[in-house]
């Protein structure tokens, strides 16, 4: 059976791309590192790394083993943290993984509340471009909690938070700004130009799907990775932008519209196993005290009550 130390050696060698550098980082001799690594290869019954003239390359067996090795090491670290928390010894760190749009939309309010109640718990944040990338990182043990759309087939704990609503942003002189009730049909926007998102962004996929369901493909003027940037470009007249309402600041005075049909994205918080007390406290805060659609937008668009969390 492979030991945690052997798995740590394997991951470190892979990350460093060198036995020499890995040995220095791990503070052991290179012969000792090589001996333990070869013992691991003997245990799995095949080579995990191939030596090249310049560096190392994972074999098929190594590529298959690496994600599980990382997850096992992360679980071991998390188990020690949970034990310390359970005995009243705070670890001083809560690790969160999320999407860029959620990071700039939901998390500022959540983390501000959290800090007032747990000032001694440091938060480490990992940000991702797409839901699948987030779920894969979480499955590999990257963080205590992931915050994003529901991950398909997730076997750990999932807390459903509600749905965040998306809104359209445009230039204040755009005739659309005078739409009755501030609502516009997406199907009526087929000839408009759009501020889009980079193809690897989950927001790009969401916009493309919404437009496809309305019967057209968006005509792109510029692409960006961040929702606040898209809103600023749209407000400057570069095209329409579709962004999560929680990324719109209260002082944003440009033209905002609610699309018809409504565009909602469900959000969840999920963990690999049962949450420890600190993690559970953060889940409670998210689900009970953080609105997914901010108060200033619910007041501005009162006809539909969504996104309370």
Of 26, 156, 9, 162, the closest CA to residue 97 belongs to 156
Of 176, 177, 181, the closest CA to residue 192 belongs to 176
What CA–CA distance (Å, rounded) separates 292 from 288? Answer: 11
What mean pLDDT is reported for the chain? 87
pLDDT value at 292 more than 70: yes
- Residue 250: pLDDT band by 50, 70, 90 thresholds? confident
- Lowest model confidence (mean pLDDT) among 30-39, 152-161, 215-224, 232-241: 30-39
What CA–CA distance (Å, rounded) separates 78 from 71? Answer: 10
pLDDT value at 230 more than 50: yes
pLDDT value at 119 more than 90: no
Of 154, 162, 129, 102, the closest CA to residue 272 belongs to 154
What CA–CA distance (Å, rounded) separates 90 from 153? Answer: 32
pTM of the shown model? 0.70
- Residue 303: pLDDT band by 50, 70, 90 thresholds? low
- Lowest model confidence (mean pLDDT) among 78-82, 101-105, 203-207, 217-221: 78-82
Per-residue pLDDT of 140-165, as tens digits, reads 888 889 999 999 989 888 999 999 99
- Residue 307: pLDDT band by 50, 70, 90 thresholds? very low
Q: What does the pLDDT read at residue 296? A: 84
Mean pLDDT of 14-26: 88
- Tokens 């949970």 correspond to 82
Backbone phi, then psi, for 284, in 5-degree steps?
-65, -40
Per-residue pLDDT of 81-108, as tens digits, reads 666 555 553 546 788 999 999 999 999 9
pLDDT value at 79 more than 80: no
Backbone phi, then psi, for 53, in 5-degree steps?
-55, -35
Q: What does the pLDDT read at residue 305? A: 46
What CA–CA distance (Å, rounded) separates 149 from 125? Answer: 17
DSSP element (H, E) containing 251: none
Q: What does the pLDDT read at residue 304? A: 55
Q: What does the pLDDT read at residue 90? A: 53
Between residues 196 and 115, the one the model is more confident about: 196
């Amino acid at each position: 059976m492979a030991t945690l130390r052997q798995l740590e050696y394997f991951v470190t060698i892979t990350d460093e791309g060198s036995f020499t550098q890995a040995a220095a980082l791990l503070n052991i001799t290179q012969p000792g590192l090589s001996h333990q690594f070869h013992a691991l290869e003997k245990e799995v019954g095949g080579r995990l790394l191939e030596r090249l003239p310049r560096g190392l390359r994972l074999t098929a067996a190594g590529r298959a083993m690496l994600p599980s090795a990382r997850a096992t090491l992360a679980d071991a670290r998390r188990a020690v943290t949970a034990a310390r928390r359970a005995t009243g010894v705070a670890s001083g760190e809560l690790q969160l993984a999320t999407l860029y749009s959620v990071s700039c939309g939901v998390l500022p309010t959540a983390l501000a509340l959290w800090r007032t109640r747990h000032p001694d718990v440091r938060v480490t944040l990992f940000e991702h471009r797409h839901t699948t990338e987030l779920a894969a990182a979480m499955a590999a043990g990257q963080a205590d909690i992931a915050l994003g759309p529901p991950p398909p087939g997730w076997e750990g704990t999932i807390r459903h938070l509600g749905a965040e609503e998306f809104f359209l942003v445009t230039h204040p002189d755009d005739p659309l700004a005078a739409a009755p009730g501030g609502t516009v049909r997406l199907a009526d926007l087929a000839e408009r130009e759009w501020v889009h998102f980079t193809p690897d962004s989950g927001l790009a996929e969401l916009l493309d799907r919404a437009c496809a369901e309305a019967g057209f493909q968006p005509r792109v003027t510029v692409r960006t990775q961040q929702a606040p940037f898209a809103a600023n470009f749209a407000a400057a007249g570069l095209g329409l932008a579709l962004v999560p309402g929680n990324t719109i600041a209260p002082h944003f005075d440009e033209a905002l519209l609610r699309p018809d049909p409504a565009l909602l994205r469900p959000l969840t918080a999920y963990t690999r196993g049962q949450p420890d007390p600190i993690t559970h406290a953060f889940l409670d805060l998210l689900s009970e005290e953080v609105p997914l659609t901010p108060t200033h937008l619910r007041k501005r668009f009162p006809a539909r009550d969504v996104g309370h969390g």
